[in-house]
């Protein structure tokens, strides 16, 4: 699979570096005074400083209301569990939705969690026991 690229707005680069590097375990790439690249599980994400706050709306999916927009990564279940446990052990995570299972017993069953970064961007991390279920209808 080819890596995706995503650029997103942030308020403060140092807070962003700390969160993505120290909390999520991303490696840092190139940067300037106004942006910084990270590897998020092998995908290129770029944080750009923006002064105006991002808005958030919600939409209902299965049993929860999820923030739109949001971004994240789909992981094999064992990697998702490791990340979920690491995040739950911290007391500085801005939780939107703590780890849970959506579509239980249905096609596309998945584990999910939602958090916010220091700039208020919503991130979702999904775990699948079988990646064949990712696009199953």
pLDDT in tens, the chain (137 residues): 789 999 999 999 999 999 999 999 999 999 999 999 999 999 999 999 987 666 678 888 888 888 888 999 999 999 999 999 999 999 999 999 999 999 999 999 999 999 999 999 999 999 999 999 888 88
In angstroms and rounded to an integer, the radius of gyration of the C-alpha atoms of the chain is 15
Q: CATH 3.30.720: which residues of the chain?
A: 5-49
pTM score, two decimals? 0.89
For the chain, the straight-line distance linking the first and the last C-alpha, in angstroms and rounded, comes to 21
Determine contact, residues 95/114, Cβ cutoff 8 Å.
yes
Q: CATH 3.10.180.10: which residues of the chain?
A: 60-133
> DSSP string of 46-95?
EEEE-SSPPP-EEEEETTEEEEES-EEEEEEHHHHHHHHHHHHT-S--EE
Peptide bond into 9 cis (omega under 30): no
Q: Residue 98: what pLDDT? A: 98
Q: Residue 32: what pLDDT? A: 92
CATH topology of domain 5-49: 3.30.720
Q: What is the CATH architecture assignment of 60-133?
A: Roll (3.10)
């Amino acid at each position: 699979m080819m890596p995706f690229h995503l650029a997103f707005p942030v308020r403060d680069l140092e807070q962003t570096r700390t969160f993505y590097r120290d909390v999520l375990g991303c490696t840092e790439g190139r940067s300037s005074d106004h942006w910084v690249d990270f590897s998020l599980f092998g995908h290129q994400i770029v944080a750009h400083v923006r002064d105006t706050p991002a808005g958030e709306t919600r939409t209902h999916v299965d049993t929860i209301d999820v923030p739109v927009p949001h971004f994240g990564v789909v992981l094999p279940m064992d990697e998702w569990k490791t990340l979920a446990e690491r995040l739950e052990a911290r007391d500085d995570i801005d939780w939107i939705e703590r780890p849970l299972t959506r579509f239980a017993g249905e096609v596309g069953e998945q584990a999910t969690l939602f958090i916010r970064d220091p700039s208020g961007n919503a991130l979702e991390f999904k775990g699948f026991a079988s990646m064949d279920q990712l696009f199953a209808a």
